[in-house]
Amino acid sequence: MLTLHCPCCGIQADETELAPGGQAHLTRHGPGSSDEDFHDYLFTRANPRGVHFERWRHAAGCGKWFHAARDTQTLEVFGTYAAQTLAPPQHIRDAITERRPDWTWHASGRATE
Amino acid sequence: MSEGLAHVVSPLNGARFDGLISVREMAPQGMITLRGDLAAPAIKNAATGVGGHDMPGQRQASGDADRAILWMSPDELLLLLPYAEVPGAVASIGKLLEGSHALVADVSDARTGFELRGEGLREVLAKLAPADLSPGALPVGEVRRTRLGQVPAAFWLKSEASAQVICFRSVARYVFDQFRRAAQPGSTVGFF
Ligand SMILES: [Zn+2]
């Protein structure tokens, strides 16, 4: 069972109280962008077996969006943080690096080899 | 023609069940949603003026049976007050908040309330909500927004033997029936 700490209301929320919002920190490519950028924005995800950044909404609780960093292989949660950020804050990166020393941040939604 | 308010009824007309705890649908209650910057003096004055109590802290309920202010989210309060006072209160809040970025909505008829009484109420709620109902995690006076079965709800304990629940009016029957099942005589778990 996945539980995430909602940084907006302080509740340790059960997964069934939350609504998933997909990968976090995507750069949105909308009208006026190239076909390739728009395609990648819609469909191309890194989806590593490991560290993920996700958007979640505390749907049955305070109703707010927030971000979570967790490992999809071990289900370890590294932390949750405000949705109003373009990249994971330093304390979240540090928490990940402590557990996954080889991990690096890729500032894009694109798949990386 | 008679004057004043039309006769207002709650969706289950005051339904009641007595089992492990007693469950009673409450009479229609005035509820006003107030959204905005909760640190702004204008919002605070509007909330405390109508709510009749101090501003609640995060997740707190501040008030008594007639009048209360509930913290619902970082930018949302729910004001509880007598049903008949709502139109006047909405107008006076609107005046107080003129020019501020805020939302005021009368949601009285969109919701219904239940009162739970009895020592086993933490256990009955725990059967229906994915929330930690232990006294340490949910002290008396703290509002918990969560789900009851498949529908959103909010509840808070007024004492260890008394709690209030708010849910949408459209799911009143579903919520009441769940309470009836969870509070069946003989279904004590004894966890808390
Ligand atoms: Zn929350």
Contact A62, B72 (CB under 8 A): yes
CB-facing half-sphere around the CA of B184: CA atoms within 13 A: 8
Count how many domains chain B has. 1
Q: How far apart are CA B162 and CA A112, in angstroms?
A: 56
Domain extent, residue B77, equals 14-182
B184 C-alpha vs ligand 1 centroid, how far in Å?
31
Q: What is the CATH number of the domain that holds B32?
A: 3.30.1360.120
**Spelled out in words, what is the top-level CATH class assigned to the domain A17-25+47-113?**
alpha beta
Residue B156, in any domain of the structure: yes
B142 or B64: which leads in pLDDT = B142
A61 C-alpha vs ligand 1 centroid, how far in Å?
5
Task: Using alpha carbons, list the distances in angstroms from residue A8 to A11, A21, B9, B156.
Answer: 8, 16, 36, 19
CB contact under 8 A, A60 and B59: no
Cβ-Cβ pairs closer than 8 A, A with B, add up to 37
Q: For chain B, what percent of residues have pLDDT higher than 70?
A: 97
| Sign for the pseudo-dihedral over CA of A48, A49, A54, A57 | positive
Residue B5, in any domain of the structure: no
Residue B145, in any domain of the structure: yes
Q: What is the pLDDT of residue A47?
A: 87
Q: What is the pLDDT of residue A111?
A: 43
Residue B24, in any domain of the structure: yes
Tokens of B122: 């933490």
User: Could you read off the pLDDT of A30-65 as tens digits, one per residue?
Assistant: 999 999 999 999 999 888 999 999 999 999 999 999
Residue B171, in any domain of the structure: yes
| Every domain of chain A and the residues it spans | 17-25+47-113
Min distance B2 CA to chain A CA atoms (Å): 42
In this prediction, the answer to ipTM > 0.85 reads yes
Min distance B71 CA to chain A CA atoms (Å): 9
